[in-house]
């Protein structure tokens, strides 16, 4: 059986499974659509949360980011997992005890203000739409290679699948689909990693293989990789080469952005009891750790395999002939995500850092006239099994895994957007007397419209998947996280403080991002150069969410202290949410 047929069979089988689950678990009420009827077991919820959380950025982009930069991009690992701990300890149990369906509903009730609820809806939609672009980009990348269609066609197929199971099943359908998607994505990620770790180091556990010995050279794997990348003029893999202040801010932005992401928070509204929310978070962290402990090994081993493919056995004096390039390179060239340009006309592939002035003389002496290979970072995990010449079924499984990761998060995000529109905007503000049937219909229509908008944005994405996602985290960090924290832990912050805090954090962060990235990411509209030299105080647009969050806290506290105290019943409400009394059951203010 050829690879294309195998890919179609495996991906088709997983899609049939998702659709079958959606039909079996379709939502019949708003409670099932928004919160799966609050009947999900903590282990099931933990697995669904892990799939919801591990997006195309985690599956496709993260190892690529680590592979091309090394130690400095370990910030993604630290920020994303650290944020999960924050979410589990500081937010999830309290929000579940409050007993609401959505994040804006909690903010509206806690700050006794329809305005605060609407501002929260705006923040949620901006953060979630930015995030969903990254997922749609990932769907396009995975489809374009494995089903041999162009990226746009792949995007439309992915959108159609999500439309089917998210519109039909709501949170109930999405929850059980995400459990299946977690199983697919974790197998797809770890099986190739185990094979490659065995090939390169003789160790079946990739995290241990990363610190093991490279079988071929007898050197520690990371030392061998360091040697090769520095010989090619790149920064050392294990060294620290960036602004430490920016690195800390970026990690913090990812952490508090994680804790403020509405599509993850709403997963904790699906369990029966408050104690289950804590257990869900604990289980999710275990399931996430399986992939996150493997990612650094996947990144390092992929980079090593890539170099030793281009240069025979890692000998830099022996670049391979373009005509003798391996089959996987030919496959990825078709997608346009891998490109070769023969600058010196010798028919061989030279890949090195041609921006390194110190290396230029050495390259010139060898007759090289610039780096001739460009590799999109997003392809590394997907190409990994092909680079390592693993069996065809593993390649097909990775295709299904990449799609599962992107689709599971896209569904969670679209559910958060549609819930905010139908429950907070339509029922909460426009038509409070809407029937349950009407609200369920409006939720499905909102979901369909959201999928349409996300697909359109996915056709013209800003940056590669992980960068777009990092911007979404910055927006969530600056707007929603501080409001949730102050809503739970401060009796003094009032409605005016919350509204002005969210608006100042959101506007400040968006203006900073657009100044460097361009208005709505339209090329040529950036006002300032997006380089470390051009950033204010060396703060990257991807790190600005942490500063926006500090501004949000400061404005909210100052405005609240300058205005009247919240009413007594709100202060009692904050007390009742925080005190562990009756921790077994939710207070459920409906």
Tens digit of pLDDT at every position of the chain (590 positions): 788 899 889 988 988 888 888 788 776 777 777 666 677 889 999 998 888 878 777 887 888 889 999 999 889 888 888 888 888 888 888 888 887 778 888 899 999 989 999 999 999 988 888 888 777 777 777 777 677 777 788 888 888 887 877 777 677 777 888 888 899 889 989 999 999 999 999 999 999 999 999 999 999 999 999 999 998 889 999 999 888 899 999 999 999 998 888 888 878 878 888 888 888 888 998 999 999 999 999 999 999 999 998 998 788 888 999 999 998 899 888 878 899 999 888 899 999 998 888 888 888 888 888 889 998 887 888 888 888 888 888 888 888 888 888 788 888 888 888 888 888 888 888 888 888 888 888 888 888 888 888 888 878 765 544 566 767 888 899 999 999 999 999 999 999 999 999 999 999 998 888 888 776 556 567 788 888 888 898 899 889 999 999 999 999 999 999 999 999 999 998 888 877 554 444 444 44
| Domain extent at residue 264 | 3-301+387-578
Whether 351 is covered by a domain: the verdict is no
pLDDT at 590: 44
Nearby residues of 418 by Cβ (< 8 Å), 6 or more positions away: 443, 444, 446, 447, 450
Structure tokens at 381: 């995990």
pLDDT at 520: 57
Helix/strand/coil for 112 = coil
Whether 422 is covered by a domain: the verdict is yes
Q: What is the domain-level CATH number for residue 208? A: 1.20.1730.10
CA distances from 565 to 493, 557, 559, 569 (A): 8, 12, 11, 11
Whether 344 is covered by a domain: the verdict is no
Q: What domain count does the chain have?
A: 1
pLDDT at 161: 81
d(CA 556, CA 544): 18
pLDDT at 444: 84
pLDDT at 435: 87
pLDDT at 582: 47
Whether 346 is covered by a domain: the verdict is no
Phi, psi dihedral angles at 220 (to 5 degrees): -55, 140
Nearby residues of 337 by Cβ (< 8 Å), 6 or more positions away: 141, 144, 145, 375, 376, 378, 379
Cβ(450)–Cβ(414) below 8 Å? yes
Q: Which residues are registered as beta bridge partners of 340?
A: 373
Pick the closest to residue 295 from 543, 76, 143 (CA basis).
76
Structure tokens at 505: 């954090």
pLDDT at 490: 92
Whether 307 is covered by a domain: the verdict is no
pLDDT at 503: 96
CA distances from 496 to 103, 165, 359, 545 (A): 18, 40, 58, 22
Q: Is 531 left (phi over 0), alpha (psi -120 to 50) or beta?
A: beta
Residue 321 burial (CB count, 10 A): 10
Number of helical H runs and strand E runs in the chain? 25, 2
pLDDT at 426: 86
Whether 369 is covered by a domain: the verdict is no
Whether 378 is covered by a domain: the verdict is no
Residue 339 belongs to what H/E stretch?
A: strand 338-340
Whether 367 is covered by a domain: the verdict is no
């Amino acid at each position: 059986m050829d690879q294309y047929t195998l890919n179609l069979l495996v991906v088709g089988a997983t899609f049939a499974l998702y659709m079958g689950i959606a039909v079996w678990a379709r939502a019949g009420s708003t409670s099932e659509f928004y919160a799966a009827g609050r009947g999900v077991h903590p282990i099931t919820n933990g697995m669904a949360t892990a799939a919801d959380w591990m997006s195309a950025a985690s599956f496709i982009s993260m190892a690529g980011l680590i592979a091309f930069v090394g130690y400095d991009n370990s910030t993604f690992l630290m920020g994303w997992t650290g944020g999960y701990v924050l979410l589990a300890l500081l937010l999830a149990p309290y929000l579940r005890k409050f007993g609401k369906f959505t994040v804006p509903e909690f903010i509206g009730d806690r700050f006794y203000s329809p305005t605060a609820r609407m501002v929260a809806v705006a923040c949620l939609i901006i953060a979630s739409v930015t995030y969903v672009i990254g997922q749609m980009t990932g769907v396009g990348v995975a489809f374009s290679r494995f089903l041999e269609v162009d990226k746009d066609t792949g995007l439309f197929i992915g959108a159609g699948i999500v439309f089917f199971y998210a519109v039909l099943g709501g949170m109930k359908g999405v929850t059980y689909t995400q459990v299946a998607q977690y199983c697919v994505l974790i197998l797809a990620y770890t099986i190739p990693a185990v094979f490659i770790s065995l090939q390169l180091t003789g160790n079946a556990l990739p995290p241990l293989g990363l610190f093991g010995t490279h079988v071929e050279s007898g050197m520690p794997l990371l030392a061998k990789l360091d040697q090769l990348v520095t010989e090619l003029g790149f920064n050392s893999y294990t060294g620290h080469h960036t602004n430490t202040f920016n690195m800390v801010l970026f990690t913090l932005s990812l952490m508090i952005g994680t804790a403020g992401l509405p599509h993850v928070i709403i997963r904790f509204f699906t369990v029966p009891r408050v104690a289950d929310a804590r257990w869900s978070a604990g289980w999710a962290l275990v399931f996430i750790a399986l992939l996150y402990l493997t990612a650094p090994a996947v990144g390092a081993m992929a980079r090593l395999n890539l170099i030793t493919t281009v240069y025979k056995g890692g000998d830099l004096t022996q670049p391979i002939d373009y005509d003798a390039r391996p089959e996987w390179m030919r496959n990825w060239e078709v997608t346009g995500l891998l490109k070769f340009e023969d600058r010196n006309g010798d028919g061989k592939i030279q890949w090195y850092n041609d921006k390194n002035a110190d290396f230029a003389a050495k390259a010139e002496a060898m007759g090289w006239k610039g780096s001739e290979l460009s590799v999109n970072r997003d392809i590394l995990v997907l190409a990994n099994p092909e680079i390592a010449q693993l069996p065809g079924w593993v390649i097909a499984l990775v295709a299904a895994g990449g799609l599962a990761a992107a689709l599971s998060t896209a569904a969670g995000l679209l559910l958060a957007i549609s819930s905010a529109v139908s429950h907070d905007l339509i029922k909460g503000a426009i038509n409070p007397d809407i029937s349950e049937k009407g609200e369920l219909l409006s939720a499905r229509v909102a979901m369909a419209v959201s999928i349409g908008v996300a697909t359109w944005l996915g056709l013209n994405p800003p940056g590669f998947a992980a960068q777009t996602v990092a911007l979404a985290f910055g927006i969530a960090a600056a707007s929603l996280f501080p409001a949730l924290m102050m809503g739970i832990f401060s009796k003094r912050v009032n409605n005016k403080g919350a509204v002005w805090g969210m608006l100042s954090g959101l506007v400040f962060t968006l203006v900073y991002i657009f100044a460097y990235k361009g208005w709505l990411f339209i090329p040529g509209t950036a006002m300032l150069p997006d380089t470390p030299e051009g950033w204010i105080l060396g703060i990257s647009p991807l790190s600005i969410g942490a500063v926006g969050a500090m501004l949000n806290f400061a404005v909210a506290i100052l405005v609240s202290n300058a205005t009247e105290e919240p009413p007594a019943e709100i202060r009692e409400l904050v007390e009742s949410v925080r005190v562990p009394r009756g921790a077994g059951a939710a207070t459920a203010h409906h």
